[in-house]
Chains A and B, each alone.
Chain A
């Protein structure tokens, strides 16, 4: 293609930043760009695999560009190749920049993990689940267990859900290893530990009391949700999405329906937007209160934990009153919501919020005055701003390190453009900064709900009708309590063709080893908890361990090299 691109760029750009970035891409890759288009806030560049790396090398230094997710999809039956969708965001302008890269089966793609460190896990995942090969990096298993059979790629269309279900057999994973006790002791935390809420495995290499290195092995709760949704209908998937996470389900179902609405251009009535925003903020309240309780518990201050959850109970009752359930709200549908907020509930909302404001302020005052809490939060688990940017971190983890990134402001959705609120940012980057970000967000959420409730418009709560079209790309992003949740949907006639879920913990976990270096062992659990990890959100595949037949157990007793003997 050798057109004059400047007119096209002018047409497609949404502002100065996208113009600059698009020009840079086209400067180096004009012959490999197969298509350029824009819809709403998403600019799509269809580019050949051989020029992707060159294009990104030219723009990766742009400071407001960050990698949000990479979705890999098997479109061989429709178009003849695999597709990789690289979704970037241009902050401050609120533009999505999507690179659609067709990949012929068997051809390797150049890795970009040295340019955008956040892409490391996405490339490994694409390899695990679809068999796409990458040049220039070491491939290893990430989301599938180590003894998963070769050449069985679960997300390829020829592998059916029934086939995968047949392979299910629970087994334990183990590694019996020798410990070097002289210099460095390796302390495994997980995967099945009575103190953990979800299976996770952190290896902390300690010298004395200081952590020198850390390693994370996860994906033990991989349940195959993305594959399952491909056999479901549009209005059934929100209920599946809600169960991705045990705390933040509503953000996933809202993100999904927003992605479908974006793909098909569905007009959602204003009242539905308001209801969704109110429920999203209620969810943020309960999640932050939960986190505060857990953080105080990790510091040993159990009284604070109990009181934080006592306050949280009021939010749970409010959620049940508004939606019908304490956690799995079940009100999202494509095109709107299915439950209205009646007028007589509004006084109850306001009353709960007032009580909440008072009690939460009291709790924060008391908790931060406990000497141990302050002393242990300050100066531990530091995450420098440069690292936060390099890893494309999101949510309070990034905002505690000085990056003012919030989907509600940058890529605004639902009813957030009607309300005014601050995005709290702290620059120290330690555990205390992240705590304060979350505390401030609670007060902001309360103010947002009050504003929304006051200006709620009338009208229907769901779009009358909408038509599904095949193979449209939609992106839905929502600011969850933990960070940005982004869903990428490729539509089909009755349900999604491909659904890609990226939860914030997926992005944030990659930075935990950096935060843990140099931290005292006693502060390690708190540092891990300060990113507010939600492993269920992160791991979305199936616990399948089979064919190789090797039974591996991970007993903590094995580490002590002794065997219990009956006395």
Chain B
């Protein structure tokens, strides 16, 4: 009947369970996933992270002559998929989660890459680092003449090569 009095002894034993949060550090385990940090040296601008990011916090796009990888902390859901798929292991997951700020600009992080221009049409199509990385990874070297050609021009080139083999029309 009076078992509920045991609550008093439980509270005495447990003490205070809460933490005075802003004045004490938060309780975060070593496994905690916070915001990500993209290493600008390792990143090659391939865009794999942007394709998997569920809320589209990571976006990649051309800005003039450069390719920029943008990370918007406001949309990030801290799932860590970008770190999981990055072929260069360039994304590290930090433990920071206290990201509130007065300036919206603080929430954007960028990694800027220089681009390589297509030798045929002159348009920038991918980053210099990406091309170098492909060169490094593929054992039998990619033919030099195709490495610096943008996808559009490469389609045309390949079509002409096939055409020249079939019909005998000579091409570039």
Contacts and interface: CB of A to CB of B under 8 A. Distances in A.
Please tell me whether chains A and B touch each other in their complex, using a CB distance cut-off of 8 A.
yes
B4 A366 contact: yes
B9 to A, nearest CB: 10
B162 interface: no
A310 interface: yes
Interface string A307-349: 1001001000100111111001010000000100000000000
A320 B14 contact: no
Given A236-B54, A303-B7, A310 B32 contact: no
A307 B12 CA distance: 12
Contact of A324 (B31, B51, B77): B31
A307 B29 contact: no
Given A324-B32, A324-B33, A366 B77 contact: no
Contacts of B134: none
B136 interface: no
Among B17, B79, B81, the most chain A Cβ lie within 10 Å of the Cβ of B79
A240 interface: yes
Nearest to B7: A366
Contacts of A243: 77
B10 A232 contact: no
B20 interface: no
A321 B7 contact: no
Given A328-B77, A369-B3, A236 B32 contact: no
B1 interface: yes
A153 interface: no
Interface in B1-39: 1-4, 6-7, 10-11, 14, 17, 27-33
Given A240-B54, A307-B10, A338-B84, A321 B31 contact: yes
A365 interface: yes
A235 B52 contact: yes
Contacts of A232: 54
A239 interface: yes
Nearest to B17: A310
Bin chain B's interface residue count. Answer: 20 to 34
A322 B10 contact: no
Nearest to A367: B4
A236 B6 CA distance: 49
At the interface, is chain B mostly helix, strand, loop or mixed? loop
B78 interface: yes
Contacts of A307: 7, 10-11
A39 to B, nearest CB: 29
A370 interface: yes
A304 B28 CA distance: 26
B121 to A, nearest CB: 30
A304 B4 CA distance: 10
Given A313-B17, A369-B1, A325 B78 contact: yes
A150 interface: no
Contacts of B17: 310, 313
A362 interface: yes
B80 interface: yes
Nearest to A330: B79
A304 B7 CA distance: 9
B64 to A, nearest CB: 28
A330 B10 contact: no
Bin chain A's interface residue count. Answer: 20 to 34
A46 B116 CA distance: 56
A405 to B, nearest CB: 33
Nearest to B53: A236
A378 B107 CA distance: 53
A324 to B, nearest CB: 4
A239 B10 contact: no
A317 B27 contact: yes
Given A324-B80, A366-B3, A366-B6, A310 B14 contact: yes
B54 A322 contact: no
Contacts of A325: 32-33, 78
A366 B6 CA distance: 7
A362 B13 CA distance: 13
Contacts of A369: 1-4
Contacts of A236: 52-54, 81
A52 B77 CA distance: 44
A317 B29 contact: yes
B29 A320 contact: yes
A310 B10 CA distance: 12
B31 A323 contact: yes
Nearest to A314: B17
Interface string A346-367: 0000000000000000110111
Contacts of B10: 307, 362-363, 366
Given A232-B54, A235-B52, A323-B31, A362 B6 contact: yes
A320 B6 contact: no
B29 A321 contact: yes
A342 to B, nearest CB: 10
A372 to B, nearest CB: 10
Nearest to A322: B31
Given A323-B31, A325-B32, A366-B10, A235 B81 contact: yes
Nearest to A318: B29
8 contacts: A235-B52, A235-B81, A307-B7, A310-B17, A321-B29, A321-B30, A338-B81, A371-B4
Given A320-B31, A325-B33, 13 more contacts: A233-B52, A236-B52, A239-B54, A239-B79, A239-B81, A307-B7, A317-B27, A320-B32, A330-B77, A338-B84, A365-B3, A366-B4, A371-B4
Interface of B: 1-4, 6-7, 10-11, 14, 17, 27-33, 51-54, 77-81, 84
Query: Which 10 pairs across A and B sit closest by C-beta, in order of nearness?
Result: A369-B3, A330-B79, A236-B54, A239-B54, A324-B33, A310-B17, A370-B4, A321-B29, A324-B31, A320-B29
Interface of A: 232-233, 235-236, 239-240, 243, 303-304, 307, 310, 313, 317, 320-325, 328, 330, 338, 362-363, 365-367, 369-371
